[in-house]
Structure formats: C-alpha cells, structure tokens
Amino acid sequence: MRKVVSQFGDGPLQQKLTTGDLHFLSDAYVTHGGNETGPTPHEYLGAALAACTSMTLKMYSTRKSMNLENAIVTVDIERVDDVEILIRDIQLQGNLSAEEKERLIEIANKCPIHKALAGDIQIKTQLVN
C-alpha cells in the first residue's frame, strides 16, 4: 500500500494529502474553523468504507457471474456517547435473486475496510526527524 502523507495546506485547517502521484485535500466545515475545500477526515473514513464495499461487491459479483449492474453504497457517521456509529446503506441494482442479494450483503461485511474497522486497530505513533 502506498503511504498517505498529510501536511498543512491553505487556510486555517486545510490539509494537502498525497499518496503516490495522487494529490487531494481535506478540510473542516466552516462551523469548525475550516473553509470546506475538501472532505473532512470523517468523510474520508466513510468514503473508504463505501468504496471498499462497492469494489468488493463488484469483484465478487463478476467472479460469480451475477447480474449486478451497480452497487450504490452510502455511509453516514454518527457519534453517540464517544462511539462512532457507521451507518451503511447498500442499494443493489440488477436482475438478482433474493439469495444473491442476501449473499452480497454477507460479502459486503467481508470487505477489507469493514473488517479493519470492526476488528482491533492499533495506531503506532513515532516522532521522526
């Protein structure tokens, strides 16, 4: 996996992010002191789960020759009593049987980001100079 690098951007909270040759921004809402020039870190977290879920469903349905035309995945994040609750809605489009839909939901729960977020996570922080 390519490393993701974040450094100060323009404005009070904007961050310039890079991974490999890709460049993108993150920022905070105006109400939180930012300028809303990019998704918030929480929105990127939701995007990671949504993209991974949809990719996993596409790979699986292709391998199994299912008639999945599209998987639209929407993720919202709520915070309740210091607990992040990720609410994932999955819309499956295509000529699919009830059994295929049920199996695809099982597969959605096996996407790597879902497994990472639902499992134990360790963050190792080190100062480098």
List pLDDT tens digits, range 25-74: 999 999 999 999 999 999 999 999 999 999 999 999 999 999 999 999 99
Q: Is 21 within a domain?
A: yes
- 45 and 28 belong to one structural domain: no
Output the pLDDT for position 44. Answer: 98
Q: Is 128 within a domain?
A: no
The model carries a pTM of: 0.94
Q: Is 126 within a domain?
A: no
- 20 and 66 belong to one structural domain: no
- 23 and 45 belong to one structural domain: no
* C-alpha to C-alpha distances, 109 to 41, 49, 117, nearest whole angstrom: 22, 10, 11
Residues 115-122 have a mean pLDDT of 94
18's enclosing H/E stretch is: strand 15-19
- 83 and 34 belong to one structural domain: no
Output the pLDDT for position 56. Answer: 98
- 62 and 92 belong to one structural domain: yes
Other C-beta atoms closer than 10 Å to the C-beta of 42 total: 16
Output the pLDDT for position 114. Answer: 96
Amino acid at site 5: V
- 105 and 45 belong to one structural domain: yes
Tell me which residue range forms the domain holding 9: 1-38
Q: Is 106 within a domain?
A: yes
Residues 87-115 have a mean pLDDT of 98
Output the pLDDT for position 32. Answer: 97
Structural domain total, the chain: 2
